[in-house]
Amino acid sequence: MTSEAFDKGKAAYRRNSERRDNPYAMGSPAYNDFERGWTQECKRSPPQSLTRNEHGWAKVETAKVPMASWSQSADPDPEQEKLRAAQAYAKAKGR
């Protein structure tokens, strides 16, 4: 059997998972039960990438945004590699 504070913690998570407003005095058993309820509901809830629809849980479609290339491509252009090497050599020699 769970406590009233535990159930309130679970309900608080379902209402607004971003905020954890615990109405009980910090350090009290009720405060701890509320935290446990909130945490358990968080663990048992589906990932944020899922949303509820009329058929059950469905994956949320996210926009495909091209990311900046932080490294060289997996298949570099041989001509670009030669140019890069020549520029590096010239820079090292001060030319």
Q: What is the pLDDT of residues 43-58, one digit of tens each?
A: 887 665 556 666 655 5
pTM of the shown model: 0.48
> 74: pLDDT confidence band, cut at 50, 70 and 90?
low
- Specify the amino acid at residue 8: K
Q: Is the pLDDT of residue 32 over 90?
A: yes
Residue 22: pLDDT above 70?
yes
What pLDDT does 89 receive? 75
Tell me, what's the pLDDT at 47? 64
Bridge-based pairing state of the strands 50-53 and 56-59: antiparallel
Token pair, residue 42, equals 């968080």
